[in-house]
Amino acid sequence: MPETVAPIANPAPLTSLTEDEVLFRDNVRQFAEERVRPLAKEMDEKGVFEKELIHQFFQLGLMGIEVPEQYGGGGGRFFEAILAVEELSRADASAGVVVDVQNTLVNNALLRWTTEEQRKRYLPRMVADTVGAYALSEAGSGSDAFALQTKAELKGSDYVLNGRKLWITNGKEAGLFILFATVDPSAGYKGITAFIIEKDFPGFSVGKKEDKLGIRASSTCELILEDCKVPKANVLGEVGKGYKIAIETLNEGRIGIGAQMLGVARGAWEYAAKYAQERKQFGKPLADFQGIQFQIAQMATDIEAARMLVYNAARMKDAGMNFVKEAAMAKLFCSQVAERVTSLAIEIYGGYGFTKDYPVEKYWRDSKIGKIYEGTSNMQLATIAKLVMGGK
């Protein structure tokens, strides 16, 4: 007789949450429903993010989720930040990206790379009232992130920066910028250095705000540096190691974009499923037609798969595991799902879905950016291919 082997207990599904996480998620969801959703259409039309909402983000602790309590933060985990981004994006993707950039990029960079003196100076501000922005991209430096031309020259006790940054999220609202420049163009990526720049530093200004297809309320701005003086004490990490900060921070940020796209897909699916039960054709609801049922089922399946990828990557990050491949997969797949689901949602609405009187066209417009910022889909595929084939 073969030896009896005790069955292995099934692990908790990736989508399972602790009681504290459920409470946190539900609180953010309620806030998004009551405060964010009613403003989403107007903010989209005006292309302006409501200042009072940002104030409320700070009041709720959503702008410093992982910041330790000793600096005034929530002392939470990365996973909670991901939950917040998802729930806010379900109501409005612009709201989601404000909180996303603050937590997954700016605060993460400050937590990992600052000195204790820098933490004491800046982290309490990030928790209380200061919006952050992450300034890497330039006109000729997109996917080729390290082709940047912004220069930093050491003059006495200050670095003097000259150049321009483009497509900087939160640019209009931000009071603090993690900005990348090169101290030695001949050194290539090894000359890149990260700086902490305050909005009122001399020689620094915010240029035009882009008029965009989607996430219109989110400010995407040009930054102008004309002999901008930055104290040596505001170097983030080590001189010449900015490339490392950029790469590792963006790996975390991509999970945040995955969460944003997950929220966008969820929001559109919920509207489409509800509409299919209300709209009648040929004497019965659309939801009674098998073709519509199959579309709604496929959308739901894609959303659940996207959620598992995002939650798994976030859990791995919190566990201290290598999550680079999983982050790239989450961003790649979630952006695909968001575009596909929002497009189908428009089709379920039919002609109504093509008008601005109904919400699904906005979800579709908001979804498109998911394949572009914080690393295009092709760049994610390149990363995944190298890692699954044994490269670095």
Catalytic annotation, residues? 374
CB neighbour class for 121 (10 Å; exposed up to 12, middle 13-18, buried from 19): middle
Assigned token pair, 374:
């914080």
**Which tokens sit at 184?**
């030695």
Three-state DSSP state, 5: coil
SS3 239: coil
How do 176-182 and 204-209 pair as beta strands?
unpaired
| Residue type (1 letter), 1 | M
Outline where DSSP puts E strands in the chain: 132-135, 151-155, 158-169, 176-182, 192-198, 204-209, 220-231, 235-236, 280-281, 284-285
CB 66 within 8 A of CB 76: yes
**Helix, strand, or coil (residue 141):** strand
Alpha carbons 285 and 271: distance in angstroms, whole number: 15
Residue 118: CB atoms within 10 Å: 16
Instruction: For residue 267, give the nearest of 384, 363, 143 by alpha carbon.
Output: 363
Q: How does DSSP assign 170-181, residue by residue?
A: TTTT-SEEEEEE
Q: What is the largest CA-CA distance in the chain?
A: 82
